[in-house]
Amino acid sequence: MAYQLIYTSSPKGLAMGRSGFCTVARSADMPQQLATVIEPLGVYERPQTGGNPVSYTLSNIIFGRTKYYILTRAQDCGVDYTNRNNYIAHHIVVPEQEIGPHSANPAEIMLGWKGWRSSWDEEPRLLDEQISMGEIPRIKGILPAKTWEGIFGDAGKAALLTCGQKRVLHASPGKEEELLRLYAESLELELDTQKRWNATFTTCVSGGVSSRADWAAYCTPRPDADIDLDTASAPEAPGGRAAQYARSGELTNRERFNLTVKGPQLGRKKFDVVEGNDRDKGGNQKLAYLSAVIAAAVIVAAFGLWAFWGGSKAGEGDVSGGSLKTLEKTDSGESFSDLKKRISESIEKDDFSGALSIWKNSLSAQIDPSFGRRITRQICERFDDLVSDAELLLLRGDISGAESKLGTARSALAAAEPPDAKQRSDRLAELKEKIDAKKRK
């Protein structure tokens, strides 16, 4: 089940002694430490251009060993008990394992869930209501992408938003639900239900704030916005199957049933039928051919055993091909699962260079280097956690703690060298400026 957390300004919070902006309600079974991490994620600012749009945001965090997706609805709610501007942020916190094969995508949930709170005038309390992802209704006939077609003239443009693709959008206040429908249609193009939760997004970024969301929609016009709802402008639809699916809404049988297509078996020996007096000769030919096949199989097996047990030592022979799924032992006799465990433990201890060194010096890295990309992703996830921790510590006034986390995050980035290093480096610079500003006060 998913958790809930409601955050607003109140004379009394759920935690004893808390007042002002604080948690006023959360799921009874939600861990307190997780609630503390979620609290700062729904900060809302009124747009300087006027209007009070509702802001919907999808983000994610790693807490403990679990990945959580946070669906946030934040909006202005007048003034608080001190007569200052107030807002309310309502979060649904979804553990990764709660997402089933038939779950609605996150934008659909934001549109279809009826439990969002737009104000809070009750006593702080624990919530007993359970939220099941499988029970939230889906949008009927979500594809073809009619919202994209209606605004931009081509349903295929839904493929402009793909999981992992960065996009800057512009939409005036009041168009949040249109944005959610655009997001919902684009997310539906991903056939893997779990992967529909990979893209982070927001419907309203206000003022001079910069969003790190994959799909960031701003309330004020921006020169870098390539999708603009106000002017109905967007790039041409990309070519490929995603755009076709967005236009037709029809899956092929291969896509619907996740079928794989096998190619013809080429090069197989066809035996001739031998009749009459040539029967003995044909039998001898078959026997000779069968003997040759058996001999070849024995040679291949012997070579395979030698390559695995004898020739696979570091520096002995040329090892190529193979798969991590079939490799059972490293050159030191260590199992692959133990190797992965050592790497993960190094990352957890923030020894990022050590983790990469363990991998690069293993035989597994020579046989299948693709796992190295997974290690880089693990380090990047740790980087994100460190930056989030630093931001949280800074909010609490722990400047030295924030600086420590910042330094560790910097070492993670230096070790991983990911493709988006520039964006992550900018994020560090932005956090450094916030820390320096706190010091000057």
Any idea which of 57-61, 343-347, 367-371, 403-407 has the lowest mean pLDDT? 367-371
Cα-based distances in Å from 401 to 53, 116, 212, 380, 404: 35, 35, 23, 20, 5
Q: For residue 353, is it within any domain?
A: yes
Assess whether 161 and 215 both reside in one domain: yes
User: Sorting pLDDT into bands at 50, 70 and 90, what band is 232?
Assistant: very high
Is residue 306 located within the same domain as residue 354? no
Q: Is residue 271 part of a domain?
A: no
Does residue 277 form part of some domain? Answer: no
Q: Do 293 and 389 share a domain, yes or no?
A: no
Predicted local distance difference test score (pLDDT) of residue 222? 87
Same domain for 307 and 435: no
Confidence tier at 272 by pLDDT (50, 70, 90): very low
- Which residues lie below 8 Å from residue 73, measured CB to CB, with a gap of 6+? 54, 55, 56, 89, 90, 110, 116
Q: pLDDT class for 309, splitting at 50, 70, 90?
A: very low
Residue 211 has pLDDT above 50, yes or no: yes
* Cis ω for the linkage preceding 144 (within 30 of 0): yes
Are residues 314 and 361 part of one domain? no
Return the pLDDT at 217.
95
In the chain, what is the greatest distance between 2 CA atoms, to the nearest angstrom? 109
pLDDT of residue 274: 43
Residues 244 and 309 in one domain: no
Mean pLDDT of 130-137: 87
Gyration radius of the chain's alpha carbons: 28
147, pLDDT greater than 90: yes
Averaged pLDDT, 322-346: 62
Of 40, 85, 166, 164, which Cα lies nearest the Cα of 434?
40
pLDDT confidence tier of residue 259, bands split at 50, 70 and 90:
low
Which pLDDT score is estimated for 417?
Answer: 85
275 part of a folded domain: no
Residue 348 lies in domain: 336-440
DSSP 397-416: T-HHHHHHHHHHHHHHHHHH
pLDDT greater than 50 at residue 321: no
Greater pLDDT, 69 or 354: 69
Length of the chain: 441
- Per cent of the chain over pLDDT 70 is 80
Looking at the predicted structure, is the pLDDT value of residue 385 above 50?
Answer: yes
Kindly state whether residues 128 and 167 are assigned to the same domain: yes
- Is residue 23 within 8 A of residue 10, CB to CB? The reply is no
**What's the average model confidence in pLDDT over 211-240?**
92
Q: Write out the DSSP string of 26-62.
A: EETTS-HHHHHHHGGGG-----TTS--PPEEEEEEEE
Residue 36 clears pLDDT 70, i.e. is over it:
yes
* CA quadruple 217, 222, 228, 234: dihedral sign: negative
> Are 38 and 150 in a shared domain?
yes
Determine the pLDDT at residue 339.
Answer: 83
Q: What per-residue confidence (pLDDT) applies to 388?
A: 82
Residue 78 phi, psi dihedral angles, 5° rounding: 80, -135
What six digits make up the tokens of 314? 């570091």
What confidence tier does 303 reach under pLDDT thresholds 50, 70, 90?
Answer: low
Task: Say if 232 falls within a structural domain.
Answer: yes
Q: What is the pLDDT of residue 308?
A: 44
Asked whether residue 190 falls in the same domain as residue 217, the answer is yes
Half-sphere exposure of 66 (CA within 13 A, CB side): 13
Q: Are 91 and 176 contained in the same domain?
A: yes
The answer to whether position 49 is within a domain reads yes
Angle (nearest 5°) at CA 255 between 250 and 258? 150
The residue that leads in pLDDT, 437 or 115, is 115
330 part of a folded domain: no
In this predicted structure, what is the pLDDT of residue 427? 86
Q: Is the pLDDT of residue 205 over 90?
A: no
**Tally of structural domains, the chain:** 3
| 93 band by pLDDT with thresholds 50, 70 and 90 | very high
Of 238, 255, 272, the residue that ends a domain is 255
Average pLDDT, integer, range 298-316: 45
Residue finishing a domain among 207, 236, 255: 255
305 and 426 inside one domain: no
Residue 365 has pLDDT above 60, yes or no: yes
Please state, in angstroms and as integers, the Cα–Cα distance from residue 234 to each residue in 142, 164, 165, 170, following that order.
Answer: 21, 18, 15, 11
pLDDT in the model for residue 215: 95
pLDDT of residue 307: 45
Q: What is the CATH number of the domain that holds 359?
A: 1.25.40
Percentage with pLDDT > 90 across the chain = 45
Single out the residue in 216, 237, 255 at which a domain terminates.
255
Assigned domain for 260 exists: no
Report the pLDDT value the prediction gives residue 323, as an integer from 0 to 100: 34
**Same domain for 133 and 55:** yes
Alpha carbon of residue 127 to chain centroid: 28
**What is the tens place of the pLDDT at every residue in 418-435?**
878 888 888 888 888 888
pTM for this model (two decimals): 0.61
Average pLDDT over residues 256-260: 67
